[in-house]
Amino acid sequence: MKIMYSILCLALLIVGCKAEPDNSVNELFEKNSETALKSLLDWQNEVPDYSIYADSAVAYNTYFGAEKDSVMIHGDEVKQSDSTFLAKYDFELLTNPPVFLPGVNNVTKQPDGSVRYYGAWKVTLPATDSTEAKSGVIRLYESFDFDADGKIVVQQGYGDYSGLMSYLND
């Protein structure tokens, strides 16, 4: 009986000393998901907030025929392009709530706090005096990578942008 009590005490000691799991990557993912959501909602509300991006942040051009493979998000070219785009089209995030999934480090294949997003947007070219409004839905996969300060350093999106723009402007 003493042996059984000794084994039980030893088992309780081992279980009791078990280290708490490290949840920091999940917490980082949750925090970064909030920033990604802010980016999406800011776009929908036509008020992009460039302060959530690191000074060196880039957006990869993934659309067909892109002349540059990436652009600096804080550059005047991007801000002017965003302003022109938002003035011409209306955006509505249809996926509510958006689907966020954790990304992984491309070398270690371990979660790293980055955020992947899947969703659908309704994009509308408003009516003019001579044309009716025209809308299309685009499904997107987007990724956001973050620096240690929680700012977006890389953003890229995949969807049939060229097809949507062709349809809306036909």
pTM for the predicted model, two decimal places: 0.84
The encoded tokens of residue 130 equal 């001579």
Higher pLDDT, 9 or 163: 163
Tens of pLDDT, residues 97-130 = 899 999 999 899 999 999 999 999 999 999 999 9
Specify which residues 152 forms β-bridges with.
Answer: 53, 146
When comparing pLDDT for 29 and 11, which is higher? 29
Asked if the model's pLDDT at residue 13 lies above 90, the reply is no
Distance CA 108, CA 131 (A): 52
- What pLDDT, on the 0 to 100 scale, is given for residue 39? 96
pLDDT recorded at residue 52: 98
At the topology level, CATH places domain 23-168 in Nuclear Transport Factor 2; Chain: A, (3.10.450)
Residue 65 CA to residue 165 CA, distance in Å, equals: 13
Residue with tokens 């809306």: 168
Q: How many CB atoms lie within 10 A of CB 1?
A: 5
pLDDT value at residue 62: 87
**Of the candidate ranges 28-32, 62-66, 89-93, 157-161, the one whose mean pLDDT is the lowest:** 62-66
Domain map (residue ranges) of the chain: 23-168
Check residue 18 and give its pLDDT. Answer: 61
CA dist., res. 63 & res. 69, Å (int) = 9
pLDDT in the model for residue 6: 63
Q: Is the pLDDT of residue 16 over 60?
A: no
Which token pair is 127?
Answer: 């009516």
Q: Which residues pair with 145 in a beta bridge?
A: 154
Instruction: Label residue 17 by pLDDT band (50, 70, 90).
Output: low
pLDDT tens for each residue of 51-94: 999 999 999 988 888 888 999 999 899 999 999 999 999 999 99
For residue 98, say if its preceding peptide bond is cis, omega within 30 degrees of 0: no
